[in-house]
A and B are shown apart, each in its own frame.
Chain A
Amino acid sequence: MLNIYFSQLKRSLAIMKKDILIYYLKGPVIIFGILIPLFLFLAFLTGSKNLSTDFLISGLIGMTMLFTATSVSPVITPWESQMNTLERLMTYPISIYTLILGDILASVLFGALITMVPVIIGLIIGVNIIHPIILIVGIILASLCFSALGLLMATPPTNAPSNVMMISSLIKFPLVFISGIFIPLESMPFWGKAIASFSPLTYFTDLTRYSLGNGSYYPILLDFTVIILFTVIFFALAVKIHKKTLPMRI
């Protein structure tokens, strides 16, 4: 039994390698992944000069994570379907878990690596990372969580990547505004805090702020637990829905 899991995991890594080579290692994808959150951040920076650099950098880290981990993962499946490579992929001896895990792993690698850019920018401009281990574990867990969210966004059985891009934008942009990136959770009204609690980005931003020495709104253990919980839910839903919708794509 263990052999089967190990063998399927190796095949997930093959899917990951394929995704990186075909979809992620493209100049425009990498630049787009960095630029979108950077522009949002700069727009915000010009309008809010009272907030500390630590607060702003933790927000930038959160936005970069969300935008990079969900940038390509939602469009891989419709892309493969449009390019007539999906049917071939479905004939291989790989389970739906293997396929989705492979897509997620590629997205995790991309999300985590690109998120290091704002971390490095923060270090250059004098931000101190007080709890580096918590930040690293948080980045890994959050990239898993948002990558799984990306795969969930890919489930509608459309073969047009543009349709999925539109759906993912409709989810991503509101998430940025409700997750305490631009307004600290402490300053939000009750209803704002209630809405924020439904976003996984809230908990990642919270633990990033803690890592940079700003203190956290929620207990750190709760941040980690909720991110893991969201990851499991997103992954389970993605698998369940992809099982139904994949055959509809061919």
Chain B
Amino acid sequence: MKNVVEVQNLTKGYKEIKAVDGVNFKVKKGEIFGFLGPNGAGKTTTVRMLTGIIKPDSGKAYILGYNIQKEPLKAKEHLGVVPETSNAYVDLSAWQNLILTADLYGVHKKDAEKRADDLLKEFDLYERRNDKVKGFSKGMKQRLILAMALINDPQLLFLDEPTSGLDVQSSILIRQMLLQLREKGKTILLTTHNLEEANKLCERIAIINKGKIAAIDTPENLKKMIKKLNTIEVTFDGPINVQDLSDIPEIQDIRKTGDKFILNTNNINNLISAVTGYAKSKDVKIVALNTLDPSLEEVFIELTRRS
């Protein structure tokens, strides 16, 4: 099976608002697929439809070859899900939560105990396995929730904002775990607000806005889509008045970070000439001048503004 997720014209509305409007995409086996979008763009609604929690108004979704609306139980057997707003049972221990999850997936008792042991060790929770979850930090809870999603050794993982609001250590641990899972051939659909995270982890990214897919491509190709922005980073050997510099007509946008000026333009050649001319006129030297590709953040802002 080449595509483990196939989404065809998926639509879902709430009253008069279309939360998801004719969404189409495919997720290939073994890839980490990022799902990016601003708040209220339709990410979570899409994930909820793909995991069988809510039914679409129209359209179809095939998960691991099963139509999620018609055969939800068969599809769910092979899924691991970390919902956006989910919690483990705080009155149970980490171990009890994992075994309960294994029971609900129908995992054989011996396999469940072995996997629970391994996962608790991998997620650095083994020492606290018999403690009630109510005493866990947010990072520990999220690691446990991810461990619960992996107890059935799923082929496909849906992660909705898995590192949102976590401490650095837990975020790094979860990201490392996701890369390891990809190496093991697992497919991951990752919803995130963190563009840097998507940039580092995802093979392909879908940007969704107002319920519609604005673009789907690799992070590098997405950056090329808005190449026309063109940015340069320039450093001078002396003090520069930002107001003076911003008077250069080729500059569309200017910002200063440390001793560097980041300049956006429509015409990179004219801007470089103008900046060198400006340096001469002010009798300062250019220490460094680099052209910059647009960041994923810029791509995101541009694409969501367009759609």
A10 touches B106 (CB 8 A): yes
Is A95 engaged at the interface, CB distance under 8 Å to the other chain?
A: yes
Q: Which residue on chain B has the smallest CB distance to residue A87?
A: B83
Interface residue count on the B side (C-beta < 8 Å): 31
Task: Evaluate whether A91 and B91 lie within 8 angstroms (CB atoms) in the complex, with A11-B104, A18-B100 already known.
Answer: no
A90 to B79, CA, bound (A): 12
A250 touches B48 (CB 8 A): yes
A7 to B73, CA, bound (A): 12
Of the candidates A17, A83, A250, the one whose C-beta lies within 8 Å of that of B100 is A17
Of B52, B87, B90, B145, which is in contact with the most chain A CB atoms at under 10 Å from its CB? Answer: B87
- Chain A: interface residue count, which band? 20 to 34
List A residues 10-36 near B (Cβ within 8 Å).
10-11, 13-15, 17-18, 21-22
A222 to B215, CA, bound (A): 66
B87 touches A21 (CB 8 A): no
Residues in A whose Cβ lies below 8 Å from that of B91: 21-22
A87 to B53, CA, bound (A): 7
CB distance from A249 to the nearest CB of B (A): 10
Residues in B whose Cβ lies below 8 Å from that of A95: 73
Of A7, A18, A91, A247, which is in contact with the most chain B CB atoms at under 10 Å from its CB? Answer: A91
Of the candidates A7, A14, A83, A247, the one whose C-beta lies within 8 Å of that of B53 is A247
B89 touches A92 (CB 8 A): no
Of the candidates B52, B90, B103, the one whose C-beta lies within 8 Å of that of A91 is B52
Q: Which residue on chain B has the smallest CB distance to residue A95?
A: B73
A15 to B87, CA, bound (A): 16
Task: Evaluate whether A85 and B103 lie within 8 angstroms (CB atoms) in the complex, with A91-B52, A247-B54, A250-B48 already known.
Answer: no
A104 to B92, CA, bound (A): 20
Residues in A whose Cβ lies below 8 Å from that of B89: 18, 22, 83, 85
CB distance from A94 to the nearest CB of B (A): 6
CB distance from A250 to the nearest CB of B (A): 7
Is A49 engaged at the interface, CB distance under 8 Å to the other chain?
A: no
A14 touches B104 (CB 8 A): yes
Of the candidates B76, B85, B96, B104, the one whose C-beta lies within 8 Å of that of A21 is B96
Is B25 engaged at the interface, CB distance under 8 Å to the other chain?
A: no
CB distance from B99 to the nearest CB of A (A): 9
Residues in A whose Cβ lies below 8 Å from that of B105: 92-93
Residues in A whose Cβ lies below 8 Å from that of B6: none
Q: Which residue on chain B has the smallest CB distance to residue A94?
A: B104
B103 touches A11 (CB 8 A): yes
Residues in B whose Cβ lies below 8 Å from that of A10: 103, 106
A93 touches B76 (CB 8 A): yes
A87 touches B104 (CB 8 A): no
CB distance from A83 to the nearest CB of B (A): 6
Q: Which residue on chain A has the smallest CB distance to residue B93?
A: A21
Residues in A whose Cβ lies below 8 Å from that of B87: 83-85, 88
A113 to B87, CA, bound (A): 31
CB distance from A12 to the nearest CB of B (A): 10
Q: Which residue on chain B has the smallest CB distance to residue A14?
A: B103
Residues in A whose Cβ lies below 8 Å from that of B81: 88, 91
A238 to B106, CA, bound (A): 25
A94 to B103, CA, bound (A): 11
Q: Which residue on chain A has the smallest CB distance to residue B55?
A: A247
B85 touches A84 (CB 8 A): yes
Encode B42-73 as 1/0 by CB contact (under 8 A) with A: 00000010011111000000000000000011
A152 to B43, CA, bound (A): 32
Is B276 engaged at the interface, CB distance under 8 Å to the other chain?
A: no
B100 touches A14 (CB 8 A): yes
10 sampled A-B residue pairs with Cβ under 8 A: A10-B106, A17-B100, A22-B91, A83-B89, A84-B85, A84-B87, A85-B87, A93-B72, A95-B73, A250-B53
The 7 closest A-B pairs by CB, nearest first: A14-B103, A93-B76, A91-B81, A84-B87, A92-B104, A87-B83, A88-B86
Binding site for B on A (CB under 8 A): 7, 10-11, 13-15, 17-18, 21-22, 83-85, 87-95, 247, 250
Binding site for A on B (CB under 8 A): 48, 51-55, 72-74, 76-77, 79, 81, 83, 85-92, 96, 100-101, 103-106, 145, 148
